[in-house]
Amino acid sequence: MARVVLHKELFDYDKALRKKYPVVCGVDEAGRGPLAGDVYAAAVVLNDETLIDYLNDSKKISEKRRELLFDEIIEKAEAYCIATASVEEIDSINILQATMLAMKRAVEGLGINPDIALIDGNRMPELNCHAENVIKGDATSASISAASVLAKVARDRYMREIAEKYPQYCFEQHKGYGTKLHCDMLKKYGASDIHRKTFLKKILGESDE
């Protein structure tokens, strides 16, 4: 039966790069937009022999499929690392810089030195290796796509754990994003320790302090 679910072009993109850069690392983040919770980033190194069915932009994959892919990526990756920047860091240095920090931690946590790091989007963290931005990278590079799945699944699991500690906010439903339900609960209960205070000024009318 044909492998109709394999997005081969993603793997071909990385394979072509490996002719010049033998160790290609993909990097992506999850959780820049939510009102609560840490921001996550992942770095993944695959090899030429690795093919993973259904791997694609994590936003185009169902939650159930992402969970399955998470385990397969970890099993097949040459190296991977999932890292975070905390709510306190987000409020202190802003979400963009916190995201870059999480990406830097992910690459540094791989245990191997990549020859090139492919960073999803148009912003670049400070890295000790050659790096390039790839716009819409999670739909272009298999390594970035794999990183997007790891970051997304890891963060969703974390938010489900947070939901058990703060059940009144229904984090398991919206994962911290600014849905109507979440905003209604914020207005009813106020901010928790896990909320990004710098994100709530318009909702709660709070100052920066």
**pLDDT by residue, tens only, the chain of 209 residues:** 444 578 899 999 999 999 999 999 999 999 999 999 999 999 999 999 999 999 987 788 889 999 999 999 999 999 999 999 999 999 999 999 999 999 999 999 999 999 999 999 999 999 999 999 999 999 999 999 999 999 999 999 999 999 999 999 999 999 999 999 999 999 999 999 999 999 998 788 754 43
- Which element (helix H / strand E) includes 148? helix 142-165
- Contact status, residue 153 vs residue 67, Cβ threshold 8 Å: yes
pTM of the model: 0.93
- Contact status, residue 28 vs residue 155, Cβ threshold 8 Å: no
CATH code matching the domain that covers 8-159, chosen among 3.30.200.20, 3.30.420.10, 3.90.1170.50, 3.90.1580.10: 3.30.420.10
- Contact status, residue 143 vs residue 15, Cβ threshold 8 Å: no
pLDDT of residue 4: 54
- Contact status, residue 70 vs residue 152, Cβ threshold 8 Å: no
